[in-house]
A = this chain, B = another copy of it.
Amino acid sequence: MSEELPALPWDRSRRRAAPVRVPLTPERIVDAAYVVLDREGYDKLSMRQVAAELGVAVSALYTHVSSKDELLELMYLRLFRGWEVPDPDPARWREQVAEFAREGLDRLRRHRDLARISMVGVPFSPEVLPQMEKLVTIFRLAGLPDPVAARAGDLLSTLVDAFAFEESIWQDRYRDSSDFSWTKVSETFQQYFEDLPPDRFPNLSALAPHMVSGSQNDRFDLAVEIVIRGLASFVEEAATAGESGDRSAPAGEPR
């Protein structure tokens, strides 16, 4: 980078004030796309908005990114950057799985509507595999039978994605009412369930206090807990039934 004095204002030999020309890269485009996403939301995330954010013509984007779909895929991959899953500890597998789920949810919540993008992301890219490997390792060391261990990660990430997705939808739906808050939404729906005719919906109205109460986190934690308990039942089953045949031992920590 050559050290150059600023152009004198009246020096017409220089073409423009300071073109400087930071080179365009996929990286910078994704940065700008995230800025647009956070400010405008998924529905208004357009190539034109991203280009405007960079002060660049729309068509310039297409030399670095082949389509909007590819841009979304690149944004999706950011999700996994710097995501360190702790080393498997069989004694704490339940906590580790729950923490994994919470980390996923937190990451999806870091940017508005990110879950909308994540839901269509391809979950098998090289960037994602390390986390998958760790998660699968946790499941195998916990004692899950292989067919279950292989799919448990899939189930869990589907759940995380779907939960964040629904959160995003609800947030969008109520965004116009300027002071959005989950407590207000949940109050509204609690009222709705309470007002249901008890003769036609005896259980729904009886459960009104529980249908939407608690924080979003509570709701999520319960869902994860249900899944973990379901997985645990397979562990117990394998432990009692499989005393005899020793399956191929799962590999501990990859080196």
Q: Does A33 touch B at the CB level, under 8 Å?
A: no
The distance from the CB of A164 to the nearest CB of chain B, in whole angstroms, is: 11
Closest residue on chain B to residue A123 by CB atoms: B166
Q: Please, what's the 1-or-0 string for A116-143, where 1 marks a CB less than 8 Å from any CB in chain B?
A: 0001101010000110110011001000
**Closest chain B residue to A126, Cβ basis:** B196
- Residues from chain B with a CB closer than 8 A to the CB of A149 are 203, 207, 210
Nearest-Cβ distance from residue A244 to partner chain B, whole angstroms: 21
- Contacting pair B129 A196 (CB below 8 A): yes
Asked if residues B136 and A203 are in contact (CB atoms below 8 Å), the reply is yes
A181 interface hit (Cβ, 8 Å): no
Binary interface profile of A, 143-177, with partner B (CB < 8 Å = 1, else 0)?
00011111110110011011101100100010000
Stoichiometry, as copies per complex, reads: 2
Q: Assuming A151-B219, A204-B136, is B169 touching A120 (CB within 8 A)?
A: yes
Instruction: Check A55 for interface membership: any CB of B closer than 8 A.
Output: no
Nearest residue (CB) in B for A138 is: B203
A25 at the interface (CB under 8 A from B): no
Mark out the residues of chain A between 211 and 253 whose CB falls within 8 Å of any chain B CB in the assembled complex: 211, 219, 222-223, 225-234, 248, 250-251
Tell me how many residues of A have a C-beta within 8 Å of chain B: 60
User: Is A81 an interface position by the 8 A CB rule?
Assistant: no
- Tell me the nearest residue of chain B to A122, going by C-beta: B173
* B226-A150 in contact (CB<8A): no
- B254 and A200 within 8 A (CB): yes
- Distance in angstroms between the alpha carbons of A6 and B130 in the assembled complex: 73
- Asked if residues B251 and A203 are in contact (CB atoms below 8 Å), the reply is yes
6 further interface pairs, Cβ-Cβ under 8 Å (given A203-B254, A229-B230): A119-B162, A132-B204, A140-B203, A147-B222, A161-B162, A206-B251
